[in-house]
Structure 1
């Protein structure tokens, strides 16, 4: 892939792929000290919703420069994958510092409207970074690179932990729960709720996410549908649940987990019963999941929660082939779902309390492999919500030239990020209520990208 003296062997060694990686759970340095100084997070009714675009979204075909020379550069580099300029959806707002204005993929009219209404913004060329990297440092091997660079498994994990120098199994949402819910009873609903099952981002040292579906929590079927047969089954199950099995620790552990799961289900079911979400939602999985998220946020008081986080996984973005057709369909699903969700939040009086953002394993190569693109690094992402200072592209949108014409291109249009996930997550965390002096504990590499003492931020929020 890389047309340079930087060999594949050296690349693998520098990213940790040459050696077998071992998954480990490593505490975030300084978090305990930060918490000891005072409350890590100020309690307040807010929710963060993360949509993981699983597979690697080709985001330079999502957000495209549509100004003269910049569009021509895009079209030349992207070749047969370039969108016609006339088909791009124009975004309002000022040009960036380089004089560029931007357009969106034609499948995203809802996102266009949200951007123009100042309720949505983009963060350009963002990705996992251990430190700032110059192109020459990448080639001579002197820079510390994210472990497993270009690997789905590793980059997927790094987006959830923002610790690309480690392979760890706990994430920043999980550490929120450790602070706000240090001990949960059998009936308490965790603040971290997943619509994608187990995930690293919501894992803490003490807490795990609570999994639901687009239809809500899952409980015992025999307790949902009453009949003579179910009554017999339920009586037998209740007897089994109430009997001790101290002589069989495996059975006792299983029964205890089942009791807790059912207790949580009944609390969740009761809290969300009768809550309706206004507006019409598409039948896609993503839209229906976001509908359930809106319902759960509305029920936060009944659930005994203030802050909440949600994890959604939208799979299928690894477009090595048929990029134009497949990505267009998926961006349309994403755009409609975001528009429906944001409209519903406004109608429910929740729009000032919720921020939604996307991530993806990595950006993709600017160059075509024939009918698609391959694994890259930096890419563009979305941040949406009424609290967001929308209608802007944050960070540094890169040149889309190749080789010597692009300081970020390390080969075939794989772009070194100019904004780290740490910087994006720091802004989101501060809005969520994290104290500024706790950021270094949550994101130990953040100080390599911003002056913590000066409070320098991306500026996504007022």
Structure 2
């Protein structure tokens, strides 16, 4: 899995976040997880549309660490914003500051680090959902909040599979001959895809290989193995050969798009290469960490920790949008971005922000009703806050994910993918 680099997030975040990051690196996945099928408690499944149906490829991006939605999409129109963030607020669009924001409407703006997304927004293919989060879970623990978001159900430690994995498990493959249906560009399997059929974690697809020259011997060995293990192993070996056939170093993005040579840029470029390579990929997942900004948040300006992260993040997504979603060779792809929770409304004494509640989501694609900020704004005056300190959640993250699953992935199994939850669709998708 990709882990926060030193410049991502001041001081590396809280101790819980650092410990959680180490645990992910050590043991997020196993061969049995790769081979996992539908859990025994699943209700009867109605398989989603057949392989010749018009389903989007879905790209899931997780901003790990609790990204500050009040900086990513700042509410300059709320009179309380500048009072509660005297040193870290993004300057108003009509100010003379060189670090001023860019207005999206008469209330919200993008900080300088996020302006790379402005073309997609103005083209109507980027939607923003503010005050989004986990409505029925109030956990401020990274470990718990990440787990609940990824599994699509709060406060349940018995559920091991992820929401996107359950979509795949209840859908016919787009390409029945594909050796891999989903990939996570991480060192271990994230819970979002845990239990998904023909799903592998591949940190660097360009270098995906076995540390052994004896592939034929391994094929013979696994040919007689226990059925789930045999299928997973043989699919993995076949995927290695598929990856070798893709020209990752020589990939030429379309429409003049340029990916930066950094973690996020390289991840999105690799996903684009696999999509263009027509290998049957249906879903991809990327982690981008370092949003646990307790100290010296650096929302704007050169060298600011969060400003640097936002620039890398937004430029990678903008390049992917220009490359894959534009022009005559545009591909049916929907990208969704979420984080486990937002940050406290008030800045702390270290010019940072502590764990909060509601944050922001981004949804990008040709079939998105973009160019607007969705969500009911609850306000950030003290009397409007949850527990007197946090932005209230007015849109459950599952509402957006469930609408994506039904509208763009043609999967009717809502109760399976998001157990014990009846989503409220917000009209984000065409």
TM-score range, shorter chain: 0.7 to 0.9
Change (3 A) 1:296 1:239: closer
Provide the secondary structure at the position in 1 that maps to 2:46: helix
Counterpart Cα distance in 2 of 1:40 and 1:161: 25
Partner of 1:345: 324
Q: Is the 8 A contact 1:110 1:335 kept in 2?
A: yes
Question: Corresponding residue for 2:416?
Answer: 441
Q: Distance in 2 between matches of 1:51 and 1:254?
A: 28
Match of residue 312 from structure 1 = 286
- State the Cα deviation string for residues 323-370 of structure 1 (Å, max 9, x = none): 022111111111111111111114564545111121112100011221
1:63 matched residue in structure 2? 73
Offset of residue 112 of structure 1: 2.2
Cα distance in structure 1, aligned partners of 2:181 and 2:135: 28
Alignment of 1:122-133 (within 5 A): 122-130=128-136
Q: Cα offset for 1:373?
A: 0.8
State which structure, 1 or 2, has the greater radius of gyration over its C-alpha atoms.
1
TM-fit CA distance, 1:166: 1.1
Which structure has the highest helix share of the two? 1
Bigger Cα displacement from structure 2, 49-58 vs 77-86: 77-86
Q: TM-score scaled to structure 1, two decimals?
A: 0.73
The more displaced of 78-87 and 274-283 is: 274-283
- 1:396 pairs with 2:376: yes
| 8 Å contact kept, 2:104–2:110 | no
* CA displacement 1:269-325 (0-9 Å, x = unmatched): 22567753333211111011101111111123xx245xx111100111111011022
Tell me the distance in 1 between the aligned counterparts of 2:161 and 2:223. Answer: 32
Contact 2:180 2:200 in 1 (8 A): yes
- Matches for 1:49-448 after TM superposition, within 5 Å: 49-67=59-77, 70=78, 72-85=79-92, 86=95, 87-93=99-105, 100-130=106-136, 145=137, 149-167=139-157, 168-180=159-171, 188-196=178-186, 197-204=188-195, 207=197, 209-216=199-206, 218-220=208-210, 234=213, 237=214, 240-241=217-218, 260-270=235-245, 276-278=252-254, 279-300=257-278, 303-304=279-280, 308-324=282-298, 325-346=304-325, 349=328, 351=330, 353-370=332-349, 371-402=351-382, 404=383, 406=384, 408-411=385-388, 413-435=389-411, 437-447=412-422
Structure 1, residues 155-198: CA drift from partner, whole Å, max 9, x if none? 1112212201312221121112212358x99x842322110131
Contact 1:376 1:415 in 2 (8 A): yes
| In the alignment, structure 1 residue 44 sits paired with structure 2 residue 51 | no
Match of 2:61, SS state, is strand
SS at match of 2:307: helix
Shift of 1:219: 1.4
**Structure 2 CA distance for aligned equivalents of residues 277 and 244 of structure 1:** 40
CA gap 1:178/1:26 in 2 versus in 1, 3 angstroms: closer
Conservation of the 8 A alpha-carbon contact between 2:222 and 2:233: no
1:51-94, Cα deviation, whole Å (9 max, x unpaired): 11110111101212233xx2x3100122322222124433345x
> What is the TM-score normalised by the length of structure 2?
0.78
* Residue 379 (structure 1) shift: 0.7
Q: 1:256 to 1:426 in 2, by over 3 A?
A: closer
CA contact under 8 A between 1:351 and 1:385: conserved in structure 2?
no
Contact 2:179 2:236 in 1 (8 A): no
- SS of 1:313 mapped into structure 2: strand
Structure 1: which 5+ runs fail to align?
1-22, 94-99, 131-144, 223-233, 451-456
Structure 2 unaligned regions, length at least 5: 1-27, 299-303
| Number of equivalent positions | 381
In the alignment, the residues of structure 1 paired with residue 216 and residue 179 of structure 2 have an alpha-carbon distance, to the nearest angstrom, of 25
